[in-house]
Amino acid sequence: MPAQKLKKTRANSTLSDVAKAAGVSASTASRALNGLAQKYRISETTERLVKESAERLGFRPSQVARSLRLQRTGLLGIVVPDLANPFFSAIAREVTVAAELGGFSAILADSGGSVKKERELIDQLQARHVESLVVCPVGLEFDHLAGAMQRGLPLVAVDRCQANSSLVQVTSDHLAGAKLAMQLLLENGHRRIGVLQGLPGTLPTELRRQGVRETLAQAGIPFDPQLVAGDQFSEQAGYHSARELLTTSPDLTALFAMSTPNAFGACRAASELGLRIPQDLSLLCFDDVAFVEFMKVPLTTIAQDVPELGRRAAKLVTEQMQTGNPPRKKMHKIPVKLMSRASVGKVPS
């Protein structure tokens, strides 16, 4: 019977019970449990006693009550277009970690690459009273993001951004990255280069295509739109577009894939067609996930600084919450770098 009574007491412990056990007032107990001991000059001994009493009694603060009292939910919403893509899952992780360090809890949602779903998720997150949003947009429409920002919700868009926008945005230097990729291939003697593009109309795809065109033009090589294929940043799209290009243009000596999943699809297509990488076909891709350097043929990549993308987005959205104003600088461009590995070789003789 005593054990049953103790269990019931632990399950129903209140802040008053904690304060009584620690021999302090309810306000002192509350401040100690909410990390405000130093602000209110509560001694370390008292703070430790309060926390030990709360742990012994099994007390857990009500987040609902805290939200009502402070008029804050402590929630940050994150929306990405494809969690299966290592690039977006890595960004989500970085933002989540940064949010937690700032005292926020993250709610993660996947739009599945659908603008309609993205709109619905942002509406749902606002209905749950998130205090801010970090969105990796599908990248084709932005009015719903601008609308949320205009309603006073701190928001940062990451990766597939919009040129000349009032949105606060963080993205990589896609143009410079594509030029690095093409320069490496040209230096290795490649002139017939296929491009596996991502979602047409999105900023990363368009800027990377621009980088391809400009680099070829500087080398005096005409840009051939027939050597560009694909419509998604997925493995399946990479597979189908690589098979298409390698079948219709068997003289290709290299492929530039606009994402790691695209490159994985290209590897599968090349294998099925009996092509060896890099002996018969060089392969280079945008993005740099942790395991590509441990593949049978380590992938040469244009590495985006994913940790910095996530940290910068979290920092910018936090600053908006603190000041109530969006940063003056709207577009934040993060540098990329070339990671040269075994998948790029000289043109076969």
User: Tell me: the pLDDT tens digits for 290-319?
Assistant: 889 899 999 999 999 999 999 999 999 988
Structural domain 2-61, CATH architecture: Orthogonal Bundle (1.10)
Q: Which residue has the tokens 């659908």?
A: 114
How far, in Å, CA of 141 to CA of 138, rounded? 8
Host H or E run for residue 76: strand 75-80
CATH number of 174-304: 3.40.50.2300
* CB of 34 closer than 8 Å to CB of 47: no
Least confident among 2-6, 239-243, 287-291: 2-6
Which residues are 196's β-sheet partners?
229, 257
**What would the two tokens of residue 93 be?**
């992780």
DSSP character string of 137-199 = --SS--HHHHHHHHTT--EEEESS--TT-SSEEEEE-HHHHHHHHHHHHHHTT--SEEEE--S
Question: Residue 33: its pLDDT value, please?
Answer: 83
**What would the two tokens of residue 94 be?**
């970085």
**Higher pLDDT among residues 251 and 6, named by residue:** 251
pLDDT at 7 over 60: no
What does pTM read for this prediction?
A: 0.79
Q: What dihedral angle (degrees, nearest 10) is formed by the CA atoms of 228, 232, 237, 238? A: 60
Please check whether the two domains, 2-61 and 174-304, share a CATH topology.
Answer: no
Structural domain 71-171+306-334, CATH architecture: 3-Layer(aba) Sandwich (3.40)
User: b/e per residue, 108-136, with b = 16+ CB within 10 A?
Assistant: bbbbebebebbbebbeebeeeebbbbbbb
Question: Which band of pLDDT confidence, cut at 50, 70 and 90, is reported for residue 59?
Answer: confident
Domain ranges, ordered by start, for the chain: 2-61, 71-171+306-334, 174-304
